[in-house]
Structure 1
Amino acid sequence: LEELIPLLKGRPEAEKAQFYFANTNYKQRNYVLSAYYFKQFVDTYPNSPQVEEAQFLRAKSLFRDSPDADLDQTNTTTALETIQDFLNNYTESQFRTEADGMSQQLQRKIESKAFGSAKLYYSLRYNQAAVTALTNFNVQYPGTPYAEQADFLRLAAQYAWAKESIESKQKERFVDAVAIYQHFIDTYPQSKSIRQAQAMYDDSRVEMKRLEALPAEGTAAN
């Protein structure tokens, strides 16, 4: 069929053949090829009555080609952008519900990858970097199902960073740990991690009082 398409150029059958060829690749799970050929179809026949379906199937091809959450998510981002373009351009489409579902699945996959990357800093005990990464994660993905876990790990990382810091830097870092704890219990009062969070808060308060009782000394660089 691929060899026939150039021969049909300019004939009425060409449009149908090109759509059929793209769709055949999709059904055969050749998603990279089907995405390419559906785009080619749209570019070649922008006024075709099948443009909407072709745009949707191109987006669906990219969705199907999206890698697992632990792999690089560049293709997932491309798929998500393509689906969003479809939703913006075809607000009343019959494919809208399915496209919305695909968008949500890809968003969760990207969030999972981002959370895993931020969490890795904590697992490796790069506590300062973990605090920054987990803070940025919750800013970038408000409403994510990983929000509670990210906030708890941010508290744990901040507390650990304060504990391992030189004495002249500890007080300000314990103060930050207390502030993160207050945010955590206000936001997640029923969290299963409350007891662990409370223990870090209590020890932070004890350490702050200890540090306040020390004679004033010149501050040293970290």
Structure 2
Amino acid sequence: MFFKMRLLAPILIVSLCLFSCSEYQKVLKNDDVKAKYDLAQQFYDEGDMKRANRLLEQIAPKYVGKPQGERVMYFLADTYYQRKDFNMAGYQFERFVKSYPKSDKVIEASFYGAKSYFELSPRYSLDQTDTDKALAKLQNFINAYPDSEYFNEANAMAKELTTKKEKKAYEIAKQFNKIGEFDFTFLTPAVAAFDNFISDYPGSIFREDAMYYRFESASHYALNSFEVLQQPRLKEAKEYYATLKKQYPETKYADKADALLEKIDKQLLGFVAQEKAAK
């Protein structure tokens, strides 16, 4: 008996699946909006977001201005989100918020709309247009709903995106510094890029690194300049060293920075000796 039941179980499952598919295709093709609504609700509750989404797409325009319209529009947005179609999810959640600003779901929709854009943010090395958009959406949410249950998660996502943008800006400056090892003309834009980074991201986790590499870029640029241009550039590099040590007295770059400073001081002493000899 048990063996027979084991044989029957897969058959029953297949039969139910075939019936479900048949019912879905039948409802999908007819014009009965209520039948589509009920079946979409069933699929949504069962976690079948693909079929729920297809049905909701069809009936959403029919429910505009009707009592069920709010529910249909929210479920439609959520099915896109659950299917990881974050472009459409973000768009539909925004539509929901604009259409139903007094809804009980408006905070949740605002959050998941912003989170959809967060999910679209690419890795730091790529164009960060979507990251900027996501940051703006998250900041709007944080400002609008500081007491929301989603506040901490929104803050964490905003911080992650900010760090991603910082890393991109830092790596661009670092690349100038790296190329400058072979072509000293790149050290001037390296210093400028690190300057901009330090100014734009005062609380960045890369701030110490940026300050050191600004000093390193300026030092190498000064030390490899024509003698007539060296002295003011060496003094400028020393100022960057002083800023680094003031901000980070125990900097992890102390050994490298001190070694560079020694070269700069030695070169500057040579200019002092020349000036004395000229007198």
TM range (shorter): over 0.9
Cα distance between partner residues in 2 of 1:10 and 1:147: 53
- The residue number in structure 2 matching 1:179 is 239
Structure 1 unaligned blocks of 5 or more:
217-222
Pairs aligned (count):
216
Deviation at 1:14, TM superposition (A): 1.1
Deviation string, structure 1 residues 12-52 (Cα, Å, up to 9, x no partner): 11110010000010011000110000011111112212111
1:134 aligns with 2:194: yes
Q: Output aligned runs, 1:9-158, within 5 Å.
A: 9-125=64-180, 126-158=186-218
Larger radius of gyration: 2
Cα distance between partner residues in 1 of 2:258 and 2:224: 19
Deviation string, structure 1 residues 57-87 (Cα, Å, up to 9, x no partner): 1001011111011111111011011101011
1:203 aligns with 2:258: no
Cα distance between partner residues in 1 of 2:262 and 2:275: 23
SS at structure 1 position matched to 2:57: coil
Runs of 4 or more above 6 Å deviation: none
Cα distance between partner residues in 1 of 2:222 and 2:121: 40
Deviation string, structure 1 residues 162-221 (Cα, Å, up to 9, x no partner): 0121111100010011111122222222223211111111110111121233369xxxxx
TM-score, normalized by length of structure 1?
A: 0.93
Higher helix share: 2
Deviation string, structure 1 residues 109-129 (Cα, Å, up to 9, x no partner): 111111111111101111111
Cα distance between partner residues in 2 of 1:176 and 1:49: 59
Percent identity reads: 33
TM-score, normalized by length of structure 2?
A: 0.75
Using CA pairs under 8 Å that are at least 6 residues apart, name the structure with larger relative contact order, 1 or 2: 1
- The residue number in structure 2 matching 1:220 is none
For structure 1, which segment, 187-196 or 91-100, has the greater mean C-alpha deviation from structure 2 after superposition? Answer: 187-196
Aligned-pair Cα RMSD in Å? 1.3
SS at structure 1 position matched to 2:103: coil
SS at structure 1 position matched to 2:65: coil
